[in-house]
């Protein structure tokens, strides 16, 4: 194998691992399972007060240096962006769970990539439960 | 005679390995696949509380709606256009586009051009303000107002040269001075 062949092979390999996804793959982001991503992004809180929860989510995002982009009290959603020479966009939604709980789900986009690791969400919910004075329950 | 040749071979291999590693590094960096969210992006820091105090003022009123309306007024005073609002949650978002031309940068660019170097300077920026009001205190007798500003700056080549939160204390002092005036003016129906 000569030098050029090796270099070419190597570049192809590197590009392959770096993942040149198709538009369909990029749109659907199906590389993580729906069940798994929901479990990472969702926590249950023992409250049914949507307005207070939404206001607390907004305050927590502000504490984390986010600027609120939009909020909807009826749908129960908040979107916010943090700029620090990177762009981190978060959307948080609420929905009821049974008679006594609210499910809070967050999803993030770091620059041009989805945030799929569990740690950032764990950190977000740790901040949120302190502000809520309530425990964030893992949902399975 | 064999020894020097083998030595030469292994040397070439080392160089090859080095160049391959370098290539991999470059490719990975260019495609940006290793970029993950910073470890502390969603962690509350010791500075969080100080920043919150800088960005928040409390007003002795239960009328959140009046405060929100005064906020909309002060944002208009500052030349912002409202882009989003949800009065049910006390949220108002506004933005404006302004020049980002900086005299110092221009001077440096002219100097660089004299030396034959082309540099890009900041051209324009979109500034965003997001204001959140919240009933606060015993029996919600107070209304707190927290404002946050951020901006994205584009250079003469149309690239984003910076994207950041604006945290200069004078900005916040200036905003709340104007807000207090706005609340006063609107209370007087002026």
Structural domains in chain A plus CATH codes = 41-138 (3.30.310.80)
- Both tokens of residue B138? 């015993």
Interchain pair A70, B84: CB under 8 A: yes
Please provide residue B130's backbone torsions phi and psi, each rounded to the nearest 5 degrees.
Answer: -130, 120
Q: Which residues 162-181 on chain B approach chain A with CB closer than 8 angstroms?
A: 162-165
Q: Using a CB–CB cutoff of 8 Å, tell me whether B9 touches chain A.
A: no
In this structure, are residues A82 and A88 in contact, taking their beta carbons and an 8 Å threshold? yes
In this structure, are residues B67 and B59 in contact, taking their beta carbons and an 8 Å threshold? yes
Mean pLDDT, chain B, whole residue set? 86
Q: Using a CB–CB cutoff of 8 Å, tell me whether A8 touches chain B.
A: no
Which pTM does this prediction carry? 0.80
Taking only the tens place, the pLDDT of each residue in A114-127 is 999 999 999 999 99
Length of chain A measured in residues:
140
pLDDT in tens, chain A (140 residues): 566 667 666 665 565 555 577 888 888 888 888 899 999 999 999 999 999 999 999 999 999 999 999 999 999 999 999 999 999 999 999 999 999 999 999 999 999 999 999 999 999 999 999 999 999 999 87
Q: Does domain B47-187 have CATH number 3.30.310.80?
A: yes
Chosen for mutation from A41, A63, A113 (greatest number of chain B CBs closer than 10 Å) is A63
Q: Using a CB–CB cutoff of 8 Å, tell me whether B10 touches chain A.
A: no
pLDDT at B11: 59
Angle at A26 between CA A138 and CA A75, to 5 degrees: 50
Q: Which residues 10-69 on chain A approach chain B with CB closer than 8 angstroms?
A: 10-11, 14-15, 18-19, 51, 54-55, 58-59, 62-69
Min CA distance, A68 vs chain B (Å)?
6
ipTM for the predicted complex comes to 0.77
DSSP B130: E
Nearest CA in chain A to B47: A63
- Rounded alpha-carbon distances, angstroms, from residue B4 to A27, A131, B7, B8, B16: 57, 71, 5, 6, 18
Rounded Cα–Cα distance for residues B130 and B175 (Å): 12
Position B50 confidence tier, pLDDT thresholds 50, 70, 90: very high
In this structure, are residues B60 and B177 in contact, taking their beta carbons and an 8 Å threshold? no
What are the boundaries of each domain within chain B? 1-32, 47-187
Q: Is B150 left (phi over 0), alpha (psi -120 to 50) or beta?
A: beta
pLDDT at B6: 46
Burial B3-31 (b: 16+ CB within 10 A, else e): eeeeeeeeeeeeeeeeebeeebeebbeee
Taking only the tens place, the pLDDT of each residue in B100-153 is 998 888 899 999 999 999 899 999 999 999 999 999 888 889 999 999 999 999
């Amino acid at each position: 194998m000569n030098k050029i062949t090796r270099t070419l092979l190597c570049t192809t390999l590197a590009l392959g691992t770096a993942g040149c996804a198709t538009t369909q793959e990029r749109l659907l982001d199906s590389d993580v399972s729906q069940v798994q991503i929901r479990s990472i992004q969702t926590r249950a809180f023992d409250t049914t007060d949507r307005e207070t929860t939404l206001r607390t989510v907004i305050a927590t995002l502000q504490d984390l240096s986010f600027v609120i982009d939009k909020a909807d009290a009826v749908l129960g959603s908040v979107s916010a962006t943090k700029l620090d020479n990177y762009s981190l966009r978060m959307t948080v939604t609420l929905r009821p769970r049974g008679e006594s709980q609210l499910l809070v789900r967050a999803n993030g986009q770091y620059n041009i990539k989805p945030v799929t690791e569990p740690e950032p969400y764990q950190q977000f919910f740790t901040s949120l439960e302190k502000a809520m004075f309530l425990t964030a329950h893992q949902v399975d | 005679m064999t020894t020097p040749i083998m030595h030469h071979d292994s040397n070439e291999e080392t160089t090859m390995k080095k160049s391959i590693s370098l290539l991999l590094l470059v490719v990975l960096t260019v495609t940006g696949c290793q970029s993950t969210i910073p470890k502390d992006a969603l962690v509350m820091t010791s500075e969080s509380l100080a920043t919150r105090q800088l960005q928040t003022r409390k007003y002795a009123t239960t009328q959140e709606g009046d405060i929100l309306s005064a906020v909309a007024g002060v944002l208009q005073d500052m030349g912002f256009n409202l882009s989003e609002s949800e009065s049910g949650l006390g949220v108002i978002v506004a933005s404006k586009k302004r020049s980002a031309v900086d005299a110092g940068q221009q001077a440096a660019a002219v100097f660089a051009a004299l030396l034959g170097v082309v540099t890009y300077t900041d051209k324009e920026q979109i500034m965003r303000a997001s204001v959140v009001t919240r009933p606060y205190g015993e029996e919600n007798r107070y209304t707190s107002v927290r404002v946050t500003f951020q901006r994205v700056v584009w250079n003469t080549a149309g690239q984003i040269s910076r994207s950041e939160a604006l945290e200069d204390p004078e900005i916040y002092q200036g905003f709340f001075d104007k807000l207090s005036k706005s609340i006063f003016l609107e209370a007087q129906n002026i």
